[in-house]
Amino acid sequence: MRNKKILVYVLSLLILGVVGCRNTQEQTTGIKDKIEYGSKKNPASIDEKIIVDVNYYQSDTSSKIVNSKIEIDLSNYITGEEAYNQLLIASPLNKKAPEGFQWIIFDTSITMLEGSKKHPFNSAPLINFISEDTEASPSVPVYISEDTIRDHPLYEGETISGKIAGYIPLNEDFTIKYTDNINSVKDVVQSKHNFKLELYFKEE
């Protein structure tokens, strides 16, 4: 009888150990997926808002850092001739997309959920694409009539919105690479830090 009790006790410990390991693996997997969401290996969906932690300097001449939490939303995109015609209305300086490419324009909004009410975040985002055949699209100056995002001061609790444009390939699946360099002038000269926001979005 004593041996049976010991056997039951040991089996119970083994079962609890297996369940505990499984729960730990599930929790670890959940955390890993959350951290990597919006990365190159696990891109976010276009039209889906994504929240990221962003560090930036209080000013171009300051070494003090603001820790913020920012929500980014790319949505309602248009492509091809429709996008190019809209760019021509904004400025005749905008050129046709190179052969094999087409324009894409997104409605974009950036919201500071947590940060500073005194020291603003100044965004200067760019979009490129990556695909199986091409690492990144060519970079060109774009003139957009509703570009109210670049270098517009963003404070905690506020949202800035506008349009952002770039090239994507014709007739090919693609992933949008969204980048925003967040470096002070002093850091560029001294190469002290490289605060760079880099996110990836993919059409589902």
Task: Decide: 104 and 137 in contact? Cβ < 8 Å.
Answer: no
In CATH, the number for domain 44-202 is 2.60.40.1240
Please report which helix (H) or strand (E) contains residue 127, including its range. strand 125-130
CA distance 195 to 69: 14
Q: Is 22 helix (H, G, I), strand (E, B) or coil?
A: helix
pLDDT at 82: 95
Show the 3-state SS of 45-90: ECCCCEEEEEEEECCCCCCCEEEEEEEEEEEEEEEHHHHHHHHHHH
Which tens digits make up the pLDDT trace of 156-168?
999 998 888 888 8
Q: Is the pTM of the predicted complex or chain greater than 0.85?
A: no
Q: CA nearest 78: which of 48, 98, 108?
A: 108
Which tens digits make up the pLDDT trace of 100-118?
889 999 999 999 999 999 9
Residues of the chain with pLDDT under 70: 1-35, 131-141, 143, 145-147, 181-195, 204
Contacts for 171 with CB less than 8 Å, ≥ 6 apart: none
CA distance 114 to 70: 7
Based on C-alpha coordinates, what's the Rg of the chain?
A: 23
Sketch the domain layout of the chain as residue ranges: 1-36, 44-202
Sole residue written with tokens 């007739």: 171
Q: Is 108 helix (H, G, I), strand (E, B) or coil?
A: strand
Q: Which DSSP state fits 39?
A: S
